[in-house]
Chains A and B, each alone.
Chain A
Amino acid sequence: MEKLDKTDRKLVLWWALLVILTLLSFEGGIPGLGRPEIVAAIVVAIALIKMRVVILHFMDVKDAPWSLRGVLGAWLLFVGAALLAIWYGYLAIP
């Protein structure tokens, strides 16, 4: 396989960030992660960041029309906010 060129190196760097974020969100990755009550919020937030990296840089959506970027970004925010709101009891699904 040839040497990695500039774009390849960028992809590898994004992958490295994903790995680091994964390890950080793992048990004890962030020492204590503060109060146990906020673990869910931190873990979901990190998951959203990782998903955004995969969408923008692996799926090439960074070069996609703004309508697509907008829909996917809005979906990420909505899912994160709604999941956490239900998790912490601010919202209920009857």
Chain B
Amino acid sequence: MQPLITDTKAPVTEPGSTRHYPGEGGVWVLLGGELLLFTICFFTFVYYRQFEPDVFAASRLTVNQGIGLANTLVLLTSSLFVALGVKRFRARDASASRLFQAALLCGGIFAALKAYEYYEKVSHGLTPLTNNFYMCYFAFTGMHLSHVFAGSIMLFLMARVAKRPKPTAAQSLFVECGALFWHLVDLLWIMLFALFYLAG
């Protein structure tokens, strides 16, 4: 019987071309779906803003800029760790595991900062019911946070796989796809940060 996954690096495109889908074609369906979901969120935000731009501008001034900036830098750094880790993993270098663990730590820092940020907002009376800006803020950064949690579980598993001397083809594919998912988490935050914290 043919193995389900053969050469994960095999070109899936034009013959003679060396271009290949990162991960596997199928994971891009997942990534595309997530991008679509958050694209709807971005448009929902600017939709509501149409009707009360002053409320949105005033509310933006009340978000915690410092935490927003810190979280952005934390996720960008975690993406670097994951990109370096995948390279090391492909070379069967054991330091890949430590890099995935470092990225996981970044995920934890992001979640902790977010938790504090939400607590701070709520304790100042700013909740999803306060106005449409804050409804969007809690809903969309909350959805993003759930993706951080899912990605963190993947990073934990990737760190474990990366310790094995002989990962299977399926495990290697999981590492590649988990890395892509984490970069997606970073990508989405870049736009959320721009809309909620900066664009005013």
A interacts with B:
yes
Q: A interface vs B, CB < 8 Å?
A: 1-2, 7-8, 11-12, 15, 18-19, 22, 25-27, 36, 39-40, 43-44, 46-47, 50-51, 54-55, 57-61, 63-68, 71, 75, 79, 82-83, 86-87, 89, 92-93
Count of chain A to chain B residue pairs whose CB atoms are closer than 8 Å in the complex: 115
Q: Which residues of A contact B77 (CB under 8 A)?
A: 15
* B76:A18 contact, CB within 8 angstroms: yes
Residues of chain B in range 150-200 having any CB-CB distance to chain A below 8 Å: 180, 183-184, 186-187, 190-191, 193-195, 198-200
Q: CB-nearest residue of chain A relative to B47?
A: A93
Q: Which residues of A contact B99 (CB under 8 A)?
A: 1
9 further A-B contacts with Cβ under 8 Å, apart from A26-B69, A39-B199, A51-B190, are A1-B99, A22-B73, A25-B194, A26-B198, A39-B200, A46-B194, A54-B79, A65-B21, A75-B39
* B19:A58 contact, CB within 8 angstroms: no
Interface size class of B (residues with CB under 8 A): 35 or more
Q: Which residues of A contact B194 (CB under 8 A)?
A: 25, 43-44, 46-47
Q: Which residues of A contact B76 (CB under 8 A)?
A: 15, 18-19, 22
* A64:B20 contact, CB within 8 angstroms: yes
Q: B interface vs A, CB < 8 Å?
A: 12-14, 17-22, 28, 32, 35, 39, 42-43, 46-47, 49-50, 65, 69, 72-73, 76-77, 79-80, 82-84, 87, 93, 95, 98-99, 180, 183-184, 186-187, 190-191, 193-195, 198-200
